[in-house]
Structure 1
């Protein structure tokens, strides 16, 4: 069933325009984006399957294009492209906010931003948020990629990029594909090594955030920095 076959007061678009987006459920909003289902599976059933399969809208926002491909009804490129576009818009909107204000005025926004970039990667990635003197975001760069269990991180390269950005401070981040966000002893040792290297050029390490699907941990908040 398409949205056009529903009664007017049940159509997500008409409901949104009449009552505002907050009146729609997650499934209704997603159905509005998808527009149509497929033979034997209506658009609401497809939307609900996506919500269930990815553990809610937050999980869906962290999905990669290849994750979406396994959902029957999203095998074609058009709908996958639309969902990926929404994800990219969310990333850009959050980056714009972080560039416009002090990053740590909203620690949760930083965690969500890093989750959007790193949480669903199948291998470890190590990224650095470079910040100006007002703790506003200059750039986020993925510096190193590794295997499922190990990433080789080179302090010299991070120092070079910090100088190139004229950064005053940084937030370090990496993902744990295993799903746990608790830092290992190697994570703690690496953080101290990077703190020492960056201190030589007067760049502060403000935090090291570890992310996984649906979770994030700030080492600074845990007193581990």
Structure 2
């Protein structure tokens, strides 16, 4: 561990491998499991760190040498990275097309493990005004109402709107609740002269447009 810390001081944090970064986070091993052994188990579980989403609270405790303290450290780093990554937004006044917007959302939400409802509020020229996370959870009448979406639209204010949500399962087929919510939202938007352009469903590196499918 001292060698890793010395390397950071001499060459900077960017000089470390992913394995060395995890070793630095973990800090020390246990009597029966050195830090290098713990990192190897982490690498094996996460397919050489290519899928850190599998490093859940439950799975981490299955690794010899990881207890609640080290579990918390690792989960905190993963969650921090996720939050910072999700702060990446569309540039204000960037003109939006559905394919451009879809690729932006795929990059951010395709592998997310919970459903997120996102609103992209546009001006009359279809330029981005704001992008906002509106809700986390399944889109049902009991959990989300169009007023949450409309309230922001009136505050901006905007002329056009695209909404999107991710399907963690990767199945892009819209549910009955997805379609019902879209219809309710579309009716509300019409009352306030807001054009609901599309509802995108994101998952597994792909997207589905309800507008293109004739579902709205």
- Same fold, TM exceeding 0.5? yes
Contact 2:134 2:149 in 1 (8 A): no
CA 1:207–1:46: 2 relative to 1, 3 Å: farther
How many residues align? The count is 194
1:1-225 aligned at under 5 Å gives the runs 3-4=1-2, 8=3, 11=4, 13-61=5-53, 63-76=55-68, 78-98=69-89, 101=92, 110-115=105-110, 118-119=112-113, 125=115, 127-133=116-122, 134=128, 136-144=130-138, 153-154=140-141, 157-166=144-153, 169-177=161-169, 181-184=170-173, 187=174, 191-200=178-187, 201=189, 202=194, 204=196, 206-211=198-203, 215-220=204-209, 224=213
Q: For 1:89-136, what per-residue CA distance to the aligned partner results, in whole angstroms no more than 9, with x for missing partners? A: 2233123322765697675553343256x32x6xxx4x3012333253
Please identify the structure whose Cα radius of gyration is greater.
2
TM (norm. structure 2) is: 0.69
More helix by share: 1
Q: Which runs of 5+ in 2 are unaligned?
A: 123-127
Provide the secondary structure at the position in 2 that maps to 1:132. strand
Runs of 4+ in 1 over 6 A off after TM superposition: 103-106
Between 191-200 and 128-137, the greater mean CA deviation after superposition: 191-200
Q: TM-score, with normalisation over the residues of structure 1?
A: 0.66
